[in-house]
Structure 1
Amino acid sequence: MAGLSLRCGDCGLQLKTVEEAQEHAERTSHSNFVESTEAVLNLVCSTCGKPCRSKTEMDLHTKRTGHLDFVDKTLETAKPIDLEKEVGKDGDGDVGRGDRTEGGNGQLDEMVVPKVDEKLFEELKTMGFSEARATRALHYSKNTSLEDSINWIAEHENDTDIDQMPLVSAKTDSKKPSLTPEEIKIKAQELRERARKKKEEEERRMEREREKERIRMGKELLEAKKSEEANERKRLMFLRQAEKDEEKRAREKIRQKLEEDKAERRRKLGLPPEDPGVIKPSAHPVQEKKSFLPIKPVTKGEQMRDCLRTLKQTHKDDDAKVKKAFQTLLTYIGNIVKNPNEEKFRKIRLTNPSFQDRVGSLKGGVEFLQICGFEKLDGDESIFLARDKVDMSVLNMAGSEINSAISNPFFGIL
């Protein structure tokens, strides 16, 4: 099969024409070019028409433009290379490629088989490799060693031109680059600088893409947060409305119950049902009459509530301590009610550390017990409830007041 491209033996780049090979050689100082039956890719973008010569170039174009559709026109544009054809022979300016390439003076340079190490070449032939494969392996492995040549063959055994004899310019071995070492260093520095600038440009482009992506993600997160907050507000509004509706229904039920109770009382008293159409006369204000009755004394229940309220308000910042004091008082009262004859339940030592921590140090605690009937003894070191002063009604009232103070969350607040 005729060759469709020229491959650079130094970097592996595929080139369509001799002119491209010459330009590549001038830029890189590479001089080893061989004929290849593999055509140079021609992937044309369906959107903008840009041709791409490799998968990598196609991927970069997709990242820059977002274009995804490409048409493979490799076979349409591929042209077989006639290496025997001279430049301008047919007048159309086409350059063929065979065993000769165009030199810098307009003449064709003869293409020859590259020189290889004879000893290594014979060893490879002895191992069963063809002349073309052995020559190609030794040439591209730089004639370093037999092991490197075999490794090269193993890595490139699937190449389409693996069994084609490599060709290089006849001047390759005899003619070295005309550049001086200083010029070579300058060109190498230029190439490195060009590669560095290209890398920096690519990094800046990627950073811009990343910044755009961060901005887009930030906007999406902000929109999602706003949507979530709006949904939460709607949910709260719905719950508040539901609570209002429930409260309204509850009030309506209470009103209906009051109306039914009122009608039932009128029926029991033998009164006719109340006419809803009759407008009730507004009640005249009743002049308050001064009472000359004696003031009703405060009951023990009210005194107990005052003690418990004082205890709660004095220590309103320590709910746990107040609750523990109430539970302790309830325990004292309960023990006496269950075992009124047991003296140990009717006598409390005021200097007891546990009692002081739970009740004695709290304002209103000892006073509550005194209202229940306890009296101080032994120089105010203890309080005692005599058996004949045990009043079950008073103790039950005390237990009821303590339970009410514990269960009512609003006790002592107002």
Structure 2
Amino acid sequence: MAAALSMTCGICQAQLRSVEDAQEHAELTGHTDFAESIEPVLNLVCRTCGKPCRTKTECDLHTKRTGHEMFDDKTNETAKPISLTAKAEDGTSEVQGMSSASEDVELVDPEVNKQMLQELEDMGFPQARAVRALYFSGSSSVEAAINWVVEHENDPDIDEIPQVPATQDILQHNYTPEEAKAKMLELRERARKKKEEEEKRMEKEREKERIRIGKELLEAKRIEEENERKRLILLRKAEKEEEQRARDKIRQKLEEDKAERRRKLGLPPEETPKVQSSPPTVEVKKSFLPVRPASKAEQMRECLRGLKQNHKDEDARVKKAFQTLLTYVGNIARSPDEEKFRKIRISNPTFQERVGSLKGGIQFLEICGFQKDSDDFLILPRDKVDVSVLSSAGSELNSAIVNPYFGVL
């Protein structure tokens, strides 16, 4: 005959690992009908936190509370034959004392906790189902009774009030008021300690997760800053190369004008030393940095550069347009609540002469946030005023005014 691997309660069908567990179950519930079983108690261990679960329902509840879904079945590893020789203090076999009940006894309805019964009925459970759940769960808590209903909802007798031997019902409720109160306090204290331990363990897991996420965010920020630094280095290098090409072009133009004047005066061409050509431009390797959209400052710079190149023979007019745009931007930055600074009539002759008639002038204002309306006005709404954008616009305009090589190429 195969060795017993567990004890099964004949009343609530709970599986217990040892005689000691059966004794504790009997003390908590009053159930005294136990039998040997060759079926081991389930041992499903959560892969994430290591919590053991004895039933599929416990696994489901654990998943709902924590989100952990992966479990390892270690039932066969922990299963071992149980000893049935545990003795009570009086020397009698404890298992024999719990093994069976007489068949010729009076059957009565079980007594359950009235307050818990009322709570279950208020939740919508039928009375018979609520009584059955409280009795078989030992009336330990409403939650335990609900869990029992979930596990046995497909039982054919789920809505029948169980009948128990009168002697068993008396034994189950033979505590004095003081003993019952002490027992309840003991159970509550045990549940409170277990809950505190679970909360501490979960808090440690949450703290580990917070630390991990924090490290990932810091690393992502570092990579982003490094990419931005490399992008700025490449941008500054390109600007320097552009300035160098502008200087070379101006120098060449001066040499050509000088040679033309000597020719008109009938002078022989001047022997000029060979101008050392500028070193070849080193091709910049393509960066594998992520492509980013042009910033507002870059859009403004390109707009101003285009404006100057479109009117390269009108330096004084272009400079006046830059100064006028700088005045508009400065007035709004200093007094953003003044509506007169945020509203420009497009058909105004002065505006047209200085800015509107130049290709790129109105586009620059639109980059700063101005919008055209149906009444021939450019308007910058108060909620669209961005001080950082206006500051960038002022910097770009000032650079375009003071840099003699700006937009030459």
Q: TM-score range by the shorter chain?
A: 0.3 to 0.5
- TM, length-normalised to structure 2: 0.43
If you compute each CA radius of gyration, which structure gives the higher value, 1 or 2? Answer: 1
In terms of fraction of residues, the more helix-rich structure is: 2
